[in-house]
Chains A and B, each alone.
Chain A
Amino acid sequence: MENRLIITKYSEQYYPPTPNNFTLFLRRSIFFQLIRFFILNYKIMKIVIKGHS
């Protein structure tokens, strides 16, 4: 990862996980994200319904 090269080793920023190219592709893929959009809506609605009960 390009960013990882400019981060000082052994600093706090050196350790956290970073997404690989496949994960980044999925985050930007219109088709995959369209599916996730409906799933996320469903998950949020579950929280909303519970909050109003």
Chain B
Amino acid sequence: MANIVVLGAGIAGHTAAAYLQKGLNKKEHKITVISPTPTYQWIPSNIWVGVGKMTPEEIKFDLRPLYKKWGIEFIQAKAQSFYPEGDEHINTGFVEVEYNNEENKGEKIKVAYDYLINATGPKLNFEATEGLIPGNGNIASVCTFGHASHAWELLQSKLDKMKNGEKQIFVIGTGHPTATCQGAAFEYILNVDFEIKKRGLEKQAQVIWITNEYELGDFGMGGAFIPKGGFISNTKLFAESYFVERNITWIKRAGVKKLDDHTIYYENLDGEYLEQPYDFAMLIPGFAGHGFKAYDKTGKDISDKLFAPNGLMKVDADYTPKPFEEWTIKDWPETYQNPSYHNIFAPGIAFAPPHSISKPMTSKNGTPIFASAPRTGMPSGIMGKVTADNIINWIKTGNATMIHKASMGRMGAACIVSAGYGMRKGTAATMTVSPVVPDWEKFPQWGRDIKTTMGEPGLAGHWLKWLMHYMFLYKAKGLPFWWMIPE
């Protein structure tokens, strides 16, 4: 009998759990999912919660009945520390977790495993930026459904002020010098702008994009080249055109350091310390690991064997420091297996990338200001499935060779960038890149396969995003033939 523990029930963790229960006989093997909350949320739709087009209930559901049906044990708890060798009493690896449910809150237990999937995602590191506190004053976030729900309340209050003739400044973008997830902020600013214009309030509003990107359209993946209108142009033009069309202005190469009630303080790559007034701010925080600790059998701290300095888990990537010019797709992991403990895996945002995808930039004062590597829903889902497939193969054959691989240097990704909700008047940009990490050896001219990399704005994009919302929730809910829907 194999005992598999999955930490986290987000896109990577839930996908892994779903395929594990499908591929393994649950009478012979035990699957346990440990997550601080019992709900699954379809994070890409947080944007629509943040502009009042969906309620939190429409983008989330309770995992417990599903896991009961699937024969998966669910523990509502937060992981605390890892013991990959066990301890003097337990001979197998285990994790120490702290209950987060009402009955046992604060109580710690040890959960043993034969295989461990760490899919705990990122810690939303708001505290790394002074004053960036969602829900505080004029600061909003769309990182969780709760944050997004508050963002809509705050946005409504600003819309009311504009209806009464007050001018309002909306600043949306990245809230840390090395933040990632520009795509989500990009979607949110376009949706906020759409809602303002829909109400005829554009004369009262100034909408500003603030970003740590070197150029707009970088999105943490070094930008992309897309064929359009007889040219092959960079996503810089694509993003700038989108903003100019809507009269949104931008501040780029900006590392946000601090916020107070009405001012954002930032440093730019030129080393200038500047200020931007605001009445509504939605800034994506930096991401970090959860600060987990790891111990060997004797109780010695071995956190550096499991985790990179940023707290994310080490996997089969090449972490050798090297200059940007020497980066290749071979640096990127394929199986998300920890190199020291082969029965531990970290798919999704939980794994430590070997480096960023965008070129690291430093201000004249020595502050790193650039976009970190993104890991969106589609790659996270694929990583979760590949991890499950490898564990299933290992259990069934006894062969520990990882036969399933999913490198971000080989897989593509599709991203639908919503720019306004509505089946007749909505719009979104459909973007695909292949591969996610540019492969300059295979595609020396453009870094990616130019035949499959594209960006196309239009109403059809909104239909696609709307369809994907329902399709991926259908899949996550494990409804009939869920497994036929790809990640």
Bound together, the chains give a CA A47 to CA B449 distance in angstroms of 11
Find the A residue at minimum CB distance from B381: A51
Contact status of A19 and B241, CB under 8 A, knowing A40-B460, A44-B432: yes
Contact status of A19 and B458, CB under 8 A, knowing A47-B413, A47-B432: no
CB distance from B61 to the nearest CB of A (A): 24
By CB atoms of chain B within 10 A, which of A3, A4, A51 has the most?
A51
Please indicate the chain B residues that have their CB under 8 angstroms from the CB of A4 in the complex: 244
Q: Interface size class for chain B?
A: 35 or more
From B115-123, B332-340, B423-431, give the one contacting chain A.
B423-431
Please indicate the chain B residues that have their CB under 8 angstroms from the CB of A18 in the complex: 241, 244-245
Q: Interface size class for chain A?
A: 20 to 34
Q: Is the CB of B245 within 8 A of A19?
A: yes
Please indicate the chain A residues that have their CB under 8 angstroms from the CB of B237 in the complex: 16-17
By CB atoms of chain A within 10 A, which of B379, B425, B430 has the most?
B430
Find the A residue at minimum CB distance from B412: A47
Bound together, the chains give a CA A34 to CA B237 distance in angstroms of 26
Find the B residue at minimum CB distance from A41: B464
SS class of chain B's interface: helix, strand, loop or mixed? mixed
Bound together, the chains give a CA A47 to CA B382 distance in angstroms of 12
The residues in A between 28 and 47 inclusive whose CB is less than 8 angstroms from any CB of B are 28-30, 33-34, 36-37, 40-41, 43-44, 46-47
CB distance from A6 to the nearest CB of B (A): 7
CB distance from A40 to the nearest CB of B (A): 5
CB distance from A36 to the nearest CB of B (A): 4
CB distance from A29 to the nearest CB of B (A): 8
Which of B249, B430, B463 is A44 in contact with, Cβ under 8 Å? B430
The residues in B between 240 and 257 inclusive whose CB is less than 8 angstroms from any CB of A are 240-241, 243-247, 249-250
Please indicate the chain A residues that have their CB under 8 angstroms from the CB of B51 in the complex: none
Q: Is the CB of B412 within 8 A of A51?
A: yes
Which of B240, B243, B434, B461 is A40 in contact with, Cβ under 8 Å? B461
Q: Is B406 an interface residue (CB 8 A)?
A: yes
Find the A residue at minimum CB distance from B242: A16
By CB atoms of chain B within 10 A, which of A7, A16, A34 has the most?
A16
Please indicate the chain A residues that have their CB under 8 angstroms from the CB of B96 in the complex: none
Q: Is the CB of A17 within 8 A of B412?
A: no
Q: Is the CB of A3 within 8 A of B245?
A: yes
Which of A3, A29, A47 is B244 in contact with, Cβ under 8 Å? A3
CB distance from A9 to the nearest CB of B (A): 13
Q: Is B454 an interface residue (CB 8 A)?
A: yes
Please indicate the chain B residues that have their CB under 8 angstroms from the CB of A47 in the complex: 412-414, 432, 434, 452
Bound together, the chains give a CA A33 to CA B454 distance in angstroms of 16
Find the B residue at minimum CB distance from A52: B486
The residues in B between 191 and 242 inclusive whose CB is less than 8 angstroms from any CB of A are 237, 240-241
Please indicate the chain A residues that have their CB under 8 angstroms from the CB of B487 in the complex: 48, 51-52
Q: Is the CB of A33 within 8 A of B244?
A: no
By CB atoms of chain A within 10 A, which of B245, B385, B411, B452 has the most?
B245
CB distance from A1 to the nearest CB of B (A): 8
Find the B residue at minimum CB distance from A14: B244
Bound together, the chains give a CA A29 to CA B425 distance in angstroms of 10
Contact status of A40 and B412, CB under 8 A, knowing A17-B237, A19-B245, A26-B458: no
Contact status of A40 and B464, CB under 8 A, knowing A28-B459, A48-B486: yes
Please indicate the chain A residues that have their CB under 8 angstroms from the CB of B392 in the complex: none
CB distance from B204 to the nearest CB of A (A): 15
Q: Is the CB of A36 within 8 A of B456?
A: yes
By CB atoms of chain A within 10 A, which of B237, B243, B250, B411 has the most?
B411
Please indicate the chain B residues that have their CB under 8 angstroms from the CB of A36 in the complex: 456, 458, 460
CB distance from A38 to the nearest CB of B (A): 9
Please indicate the chain B residues that have their CB under 8 angstroms from the CB of A27 in the complex: 427, 457-459
Which of B243, B424, B463 is A37 in contact with, Cβ under 8 Å? B463
The 8 A CB mask of B373-384 against A (1 = contact, 0 = none) is 000001100100
Which of A37, A41, A51 is B406 in contact with, Cβ under 8 Å? A51
Bound together, the chains give a CA A13 to CA B486 distance in angstroms of 40
Interface positions of B (Cβ within 8 A of A): 237, 240-241, 243-247, 249-250, 378-379, 382, 385, 406, 411-414, 424-425, 427, 430, 432, 434, 452, 454, 456-461, 463-464, 486-487
- Complex A-B, nearest 8 residue pairs according to Cβ-Cβ distance, in ascending order: A16-B240, A47-B412, A51-B411, A37-B460, A33-B459, A33-B460, A27-B458, A36-B460
Jot down 6 A-B pairs with beta carbons below 8 A, ordered by A: A37-B460, A40-B456, A41-B464, A48-B414, A51-B378, A51-B487
| Given A48-B378, A48-B487, 6 extra CB contacts under 8 A | A3-B246, A4-B244, A13-B244, A13-B249, A48-B412, A51-B406
